[in-house]
Structure 1
Amino acid sequence: MKLNWFTRKGIIYLPVSIIGWVILAIALTYAVFTFIDIDKHSHSVSDTLINFVFNLLLTGLIYTLIAYFTEKKPVTVTIEK
């Protein structure tokens, strides 16, 4: 089964299907709620940012892995002589 949820534009994966958009929305929502939760428990701006960046990198890594394995590969045509 061929999954075409994302397409690659440079180093960014853009959603091309409803499932791709849902995954992007979940990732962004999770990042916002993680930031709010970390901000509630931290004592300074640097404490908030240090803890948030690590969680954002993990979220980005998971999003990129999902997008990599479900991306729409460009079709290549080979002509034999």
Structure 2
Amino acid sequence: MKLNWFTRKGIIYLPVSIIGWVIFAMALAYAVFTFIDIDKHSHSVSDTLINFVFNLLLIGLVYTLIAYFTEKKPVPETAKK
């Protein structure tokens, strides 16, 4: 079964299906929720940013792994003939 949820443009994975857009929206919503939650418990701007960067890297890693395994692979030139 081929999963074509994302396509790669440089180093960024862009959603190309409804499921891809849902995963992208969930990752974005979770990042915003995490930022707000960290900001509630922080005492300074630097404290908020230091704690948020690690969480943002983890969210990006999970998104990239999902996108990598479900991306639309380009067809090689030899297979087109």
TM > 0.5: yes
- Alignment identity in percent? 90
Give me the TM-score of the superposition, normalised by structure 1.
0.95
Which residue of structure 2 lines up, in the alignment, with residue 51 of structure 1? 51
Which residue of structure 2 lines up, in the alignment, with residue 17 of structure 1? 17
Structure 1 unaligned spans of 5+:
none
Matches within 5 A, 1:30-41: 30-41=30-41
Name the amino acid aligned to 1:71: E
Which residue of structure 1 lines up, in the alignment, with residue 64 of structure 2? 64
For residues 41 and 3 of structure 1, the distance between their equivalents in structure 2, rounded to whole angstroms, comes to: 40
Q: How big is the shift at 1:78? A: 1.4
Q: How big is the shift at 1:77? A: 2.9
**Number of equivalenced pairs:** 79
Name the amino acid aligned to 1:31: A
Structure 2 unaligned spans of 5+:
none
Higher helix share: 2
Superposed structure 1 runs of 4+ greater than 4 Å apart: none
